[in-house]
A = this chain, B = another copy of it.
Amino acid sequence: MDKQSRHAAIKHIISHRLVGTQEDLRKALKSAGFGITQATLSRDLKDLGVARVNSPEGPKYVIHVESEERRLQSFIGLEIEQVDANESLVVVKTLPGRAQGVAEIIDSLHHPAILGTIAGDNTILVTPTSTKRNKEVMKLLQGLMMKKQVA
């Protein structure tokens, strides 16, 4: 069997359809004329550096691009480490040195429940317009932090 052709087929299949398990992929390969066992497929995926991702639509295999990792620090959801609140303020902990930048983004939301922010190095104090809206602000900011993917 031609290993290169098989590798090309693997890349084609996972680029064009949602494939979540090796068994699914093995069957798709078989349909494409490449009959192999799970063991061989596992080795192929390793050779190809394929990634298995937990996506909103379930697990899926994707071609992994290294450079994607390097951009992760640009995104607010990954820069916010923790969101807490007391009765009158919401406190956001960020990666070191990112408080200012994250605070600016929070300000730019111009959210009606947010009065203002004060940022240090890795801590931001977010003031709600009313203590009654504290929870609302907190949920908003937690939503930012939890944003993992564009669904």
Residues of A within 8 A of B (CB): 4-5, 7-8, 11-12, 15, 45-56, 62-76, 78-83, 93, 95-97, 101, 104-105, 108-109, 139-140, 142-151
Contacts and interface: CB of A to CB of B under 8 A. Distances in A.
29 contacts: A4-B83, A4-B142, A4-B145, A8-B93, A15-B72, A15-B73, A46-B54, A48-B54, A48-B148, A49-B53, A49-B55, A49-B148, A50-B53, A51-B51, A51-B53, A51-B54, A62-B69, A63-B69, A65-B71, A65-B75, A65-B149, A68-B68, A68-B71, A71-B150, A79-B108, A95-B108, A96-B104, A109-B150, A147-B150
A78 B63 contact: yes
A66 B55 contact: yes
Nearest to A46: B54
Closest 4 A/B residue pairs (Cβ): A143-B151, A8-B81, A51-B53, A49-B148
Given A4-B82, A105-B79, A49 B12 contact: no
A133 to B, nearest CB: 15
A68 B65 contact: yes
A150 B143 contact: yes
